[in-house]
Amino acid sequence: MKPAILPEERTSRRQLTPLRRLLYGLLTPVGLALLRLWWRSCRIVRAEGAGHLDTALAAAPSLLPCYWHQHELFCARYLLQQMPRGLKLGFLISPSVDGEVPATIARRLGAEVIRGSSTRTGARALRDYYQLLVNENVSPVITPDGPTGPRHEFKAGALLLAQISGRPLLPMAYAASRAWSFGWDAFVLPWPGSRVAIAIGAPVYLAKSVALGDAAVLAEWQQRLKDELHRLHEQARSALH
């Protein structure tokens, strides 16, 4: 039996009421200001393997940046800083009304937004990802254990998308000299004034011949990417010293 790659599509019944629209309109500039303040309070001191991004973009006009959900804050920051070099970045954000604020923030930062969720609208999100990758040359971020975990479980959707699109996965991780961690994913929030190191791995391509429908083959690739993300985290930690 073939493993399930994506769940069935479901949608939210919550509505964007006028009151919520007003509240989100007030929260968006506050959230954006806090985010920029936090980014500026920390310093990215190293970017190990930065040339891998150049290699991937030289081979194809778009790619799939890939990192654990807990590393969103500064991996995203680093990628946003690469946009002037021609990287067109995209983010998958929940289609629920609670996703309105982060979606607006992402757009104001210059990124493309895909309104979907791997747990709610997986098939639709996969289709939108593919169209952005292939037709519009947007590089949408993949957090393979998001949005609700389990932590560090490399889900199959990222591998399937890389295979059908022909675009590479670009594994990434970061580490901070001092940080808090919280939530289901042990989200990494650096202390203000911390030093941050980024580690980027070699682009990972999945040939059409790879039989992801075979459970053993799929599990092997999931473990391979999981090990690489952990290795990059250790590399980033070492770079701080």
In a domain, 12, yes or no: no
* Long-range Cβ pairs for the range 110-119 (8 Å, 24+): 110/80, 110/83, 111/80, 111/83, 112/88, 112/136, 112/138, 112/140, 114/90, 114/140, 116/92, 117/92, 117/147, 118/6, 118/7, 118/92, 118/146, 118/147, 118/155, 118/157, 119/7, 119/147, 119/148
Overall domain count for the chain: 1
Task: Indicate which CATH number applies to the domain containing 87.
Answer: 3.40.1130.10
In a domain, 5, yes or no: no
Read off the amino acid at residue 37: L
In a domain, 54, yes or no: yes
Per-residue burial over 52-80, b = 16 or more CB atoms within 10 Å of its CB, e = otherwise:
bbeebbeebbbbbbbbbbbbbbbbbbbbb
Find the domain containing 50 and state its range: 18-239
> Tens digit of pLDDT per residue, the chain (241 long)?
333 333 333 444 556 677 677 677 678 888 899 999 999 999 999 999 999 999 999 999 999 999 999 999 999 999 999 999 889 999 988 777 777 888 899 999 999 988 765 555 457 767 878 888 999 999 999 999 988 889 999 999 899 999 999 999 999 999 999 999 999 999 999 999 999 999 999 999 999 999 999 999 999 999 999 999 999 999 999 999 8
Question: What separation in angstroms does the CA of 93 have from each of 65, 140, 147?
Answer: 15, 11, 9
Q: What is the reported pLDDT for 10? A: 42
In a domain, 30, yes or no: yes
β 139-140/64-66 pair status: unpaired
- Among candidate residues 10, 31, 24, 26, the one with its CA nearest the CA of residue 97: 24
CA–CA distance, 199 with 7 (Å, rounded to integer): 31
Q: What is the reported pLDDT for 121? A: 45
The 10s digit of each residue's pLDDT in 110-133 is: 999 887 655 554 577 678 788 889
| Residue 65 CA from chain centroid, whole number | 6
- pTM, 2 dp: 0.87
In a domain, 13, yes or no: no
DSSP code for 8? P
Cα dihedral 143/148/152/154 (nearest 10): -60
In a domain, 133, yes or no: yes
